[in-house]
């Protein structure tokens, strides 16, 4: 959802709102804007969201490395910080913190961005997981709240 101002659609994830020279909200620091007591800008409760990128983790694959490359190049706005390590035998762990307004929905749970909470994705020889490790695959999708 967006605000239309002078014929231009403004979205929380692409535009910045300033008041008296101070930033109220920007794509990397989402704030809330009210008109009276009605919230008219910011993120909501994910009741309306857009799936940006979906992928699956599989044992003995490079799916995670491929997904990291895609996420860090195309969807960099969603990621506040991340790091990954390749362990012995090519096991890969990716630790990530998402910005507010984004979340990673996986078959192991949902990890909502708040600019500070990290989670990890894991892909190893016989296991995968999101904040866990188990036999078999894991489905993942990066989603963006459409906002208020």
What are the domain boundaries of the chain?
3-41, 49-145
Q: Measured between alpha carbons, how far is 52 from 124 in angstroms, rounded to an integer?
A: 25
Closest listed residue to residue 59, CA positions, set 130, 132, 134, 137? 137
pLDDT score, position 87:
67
Task: Characterize the bridge pairing of strands 109-112 and 49-57.
Answer: unpaired
pLDDT in tens, 79-119: 999 998 886 566 899 999 999 999 999 999 999 999 999 99
The pTM of the full predicted model, rounded to 2 decimals, is 0.90
pLDDT score, position 134:
93
> Which residues make Cβ contacts (< 8 Å) with residue 53, sequence separation at least 6?
67, 70, 71, 74, 75, 141, 142
User: What are the per-10-residue average pLDDT scores of the chain (148 residues)?
Assistant: 80 90 90 87 90 96 93 95 80 94 97 95 92 95 93
């Amino acid at each position: 959802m967006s605000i239309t101002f002078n014929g231009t659609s403004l979205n929380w994830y692409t535009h910045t709102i300033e008041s008296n020279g101070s930033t109220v909200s920007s794509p990397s620091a989402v704030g809330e804007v009210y008109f009276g007591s009605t919230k008219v800008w910011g993120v909501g409760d994910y009741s309306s969201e857009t799936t940006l990128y979906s992928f699956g983790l599989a044992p003995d694959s490079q799916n995670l490395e491929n997904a990291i490359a895609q996420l860090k190049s195309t969807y960099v706005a969603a990621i506040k910080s991340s790091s990954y390590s390749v362990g012995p035998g090519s096991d890969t762990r990716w630790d990530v913190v998402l910005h507010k307004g984004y979340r990673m929905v996986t078959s192991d749970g949902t990890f909502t961005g708040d600019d500070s909470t990290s989670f990890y994705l894991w892909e190893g020889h016989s296991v995968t997981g999101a904040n866990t490790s188990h036999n078999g695959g894991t489905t993942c999708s990066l989603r963006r709240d459409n906002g208020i």
